[in-house]
Homo-oligomer: A and B are copies of this chain.
């Protein structure tokens, strides 16, 4: 079925293509009478302008792209939800791509730039030390918004949480519950979020007059359950007197809990555990998991709002002044602490 065009409408109403187009785009130099006539007819025959032609002419696609990690993850799922909701409100569509490393990230950005999306939302991969691919975006008319794992040096607006503060809250909570020998299962050495959470952990110990011990820190790079289990095993074999664990992920926390339960080590009496993210099941586990709520949906909405702002100033040919929006996190206390 061939879809109607402006030309068809114009012919049917004995008007010019220009007039019809103007009526649909709320130009002021069309009499309200003909405008109404056009609008009525357009509604009747259910016409909607061809997106390709509009995009070609206006040089904007009304599409944004987001690149998410290649694995299924509750946090990103919520984030996506927030972005899509806000996008729909503003008549934007969202293209989702996946990546977990620098090379792929680069390819995906190319893909999106080629599609001439109006905005790209990106959380950097673990091995994205280089940011040349981000500079490619700045050179185009596409707005870049970084979130979660952002680069300090790359120029763009950003939406993040205060990882350091959140980690601090988590550790302080354990201390307040009487824990003194608190271990930390951290992420890799590179991503800024892992560094920040680690710093938050360390500073909070020191602020409370507790000595920081490097051998209490284990790296769980993948942040999955198995690594949490393994780390807990190693840790407790070496230091049976540990009384708290702050994990950088709910999953690693879950793994740690599995080991503790298996060893009949009571939670939270003997060892308190705090996770990070407030993943869906953390409330359903037994014991349920104390964790830091990372409000994905809210972040998603913030990302899109910031995008709209930046796009507007870009269109106005003005210089964008990049903003960094910090989303508040919250400690959710449950049975594990």
Docked CA distance A141–B115 (Å): 21
User: A242: shortest Cβ distance to chain B, in Å?
Assistant: 21
Do residues B93 and A51 form an inter-chain contact, with CB atoms below 8 A? no
Q: Does A88 contact B (CB under 8 A)?
A: yes
Q: Which residues of B lie under 8 Å from residue A80 when comparing CB positions? A: 96
Min Cβ gap A43→B in Å is 14
Which residues of the other chain, B, contact A97 by a CB distance below 8 angstroms?
84, 88, 93-94
CB-based contact A116/B1 at 8 Å: no
Nearest CB in chain B to that of A283: its residue: B225
* A78 pairs with B84, CB closer than 8 A: no
Interface residues of A in 58-94 (CB under 8 A from B): 61, 63, 65, 70, 72-74, 77-78, 80-81, 84-85, 88, 93-94
A153 within 8 A of B: no
Interface size on A, residues (CB 8 A): 45
A63, A77, A140 pick with most chain B CB within 10 angstroms: A77
* Chain A 231-259 near chain B by CB (<8 Å), digits 1 or 0: 00000000000000000000000100010
* A95–B51 touching, CB < 8 Å: no
A248 to chain B, nearest CB (A): 17
A316 located at the interface, meaning its Cβ lies under 8 Å from any Cβ of chain B in the complex? no
Residues A72 and B61 in contact, CB atoms below 8 Å apart:
no
Pair A81/B70 contact, Cβ less than 8 Å: yes
Verify if A45 is at the interface (C-beta below 8 Å from B). Answer: no
Complex Cα distance, B85 from A281, in Å, reads 27
CB distance from A74 to the nearest CB of B (A): 6
> In the bound complex, do residue A116 and residue B74 qualify as a contact, i.e. CB atoms below 8 Å apart?
no
- The CA-CA distance from A281 to B140 in the complex, in Å, is 42
Number of copies: 2
Q: How far is it, in angstroms, between the C-alpha of A229 and the C-alpha of B78 when the chains are bound?
A: 24
Q: Are B254 and A115 in contact (CB under 8 A)?
A: no
Could you tell me the distance in whole angstroms from the C-beta of A39 to the nearest C-beta in chain B? Answer: 17
Q: Which residues of B contact A281 (CB under 8 A)?
A: 281
Does the CB pair B114–A98 fall under 8 Å? Answer: no
| A127 contacts partner chain B, Cβ-Cβ < 8 Å | no
When distances are taken between beta carbons in the complex, the residues of chain B under 8 Å from A12 are: none
A80 (CB) vs chain B CBs: closest residue: B96
The reply on A330 being an interface residue by CB < 8 A is no
A33 at the interface (CB under 8 A from B): no
Q: Given A111-B93, A139-B1, is A81 in contact with B98 using a C-beta cutoff of 8 Å?
A: yes
Q: Is A18 an interface residue (CB 8 A)?
A: no
Q: Contacts A72-B77, A97-B88 known; A52 to B48 CB distance under 8 Å?
A: no
Inter-chain CA distance A202–B100, complex, in Å, is: 45
In the complex, how many angstroms separate the beta carbon of A52 from the nearest chain B beta carbon? 4
A236–B140 Cα distance when bound, in Å, is: 63
Looking at the complex, which one of B3, B111, B280 makes contact with A72 (CB distance below 8 Å)? B280
Interchain residue pairs with CB less than 8 A apart (7): A48-B114, A50-B116, A80-B96, A85-B98, A93-B115, A258-B284, A281-B281
By Cβ-Cβ distance, the 7 closest A-B pairs, closest first, are A72-B77, A52-B56, A52-B55, A1-B139, A281-B281, A96-B96, A93-B95
